[in-house]
């Protein structure tokens, strides 16, 4: 008998909460492990997703590529939030990070993240 685990869908509230928590971690206002626990308990994210969403925000802020994937809606929310909270220059840095992620993911041969590519084009 094969057991199938249902993937939890990360809803809009969880995305917004993860963005705000990730900002606090990035600015060293909250320890990462406490932030992960917070997202697990309040946003009902699993530990891996909580860790990934925090990780991706820091990579976007630094302009470096990331290897874990967040969904298209979360990517858009993060980019919109970065533009709103940090300005156009930081948005450009975040977009470079997303482009590096898409290139990395494409090189794995798992697909092209078409919705993320469209999103990048919208911002340029």
**Where are the domains positioned within the chain?**
12-123
pLDDT for 4: 46
Contacts of 59 (CB under 8 A, 6+ apart): 65, 66, 97, 101
The string of pLDDT tens digits covering residues 12-27 is 999 999 999 999 999 9
Q: Tell me what pLDDT residue 5 has.
A: 47
Write down the pLDDT at residue 2: 47
Residues of the chain with pLDDT below 50 are 1-5
């Amino acid at each position: 008998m094969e057991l199938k685990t249902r993937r939890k869908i990360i809803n809009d509230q969880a995305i917004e909460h993860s963005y705000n928590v990730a900002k606090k971690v990035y600015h060293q206002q909250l320890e990462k492990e406490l932030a992960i626990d917070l997202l697990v308990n309040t946003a009902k994210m699993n530990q891996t997703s909580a860790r990934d969403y925090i990780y991706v925000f820091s990579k976007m802020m630094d302009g470096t590529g990331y290897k874990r994937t967040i969904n298209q809606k979360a990517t858009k929310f993060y980019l919109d939030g970065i533009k709103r909270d940090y300005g156009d220059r930081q948005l450009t840095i975040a977009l470079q990070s997303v482009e590096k992620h898409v290139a990395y993911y494409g090189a794995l041969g798992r697909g092209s993240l078409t919705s993320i590519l469209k999103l990048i084009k919208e911002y340029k």
